[in-house]
A and B are shown apart, each in its own frame.
Chain A
Amino acid sequence: AQSVSQHNHHVILSEAASLELGCNYSYGGTVNLFWYVQYPGQHLQLLLKYFSGDPLVKGIKGFEAEFIKSKFSFNLRKPSVQWSDTAEYFCAVNAVGSGGGADGLTFGKGTHLIIQP
Chain B
Amino acid sequence: DSGVTQTPKHLITATGQRVTLRCSPRSGDLSVYWYQQSLDQGLQFLIHYYNGEERAKGNILERFSAQQFPDLHSELNLSSLELGDSALYFCASSVGPRGALNIQYFGAGTRLSVL
Do A and B make up one complex? Answer: no
Name B residues whose Cβ lies closer than 8 Å to a Cβ of A. none
Name A residues whose Cβ lies closer than 8 Å to a Cβ of B. none
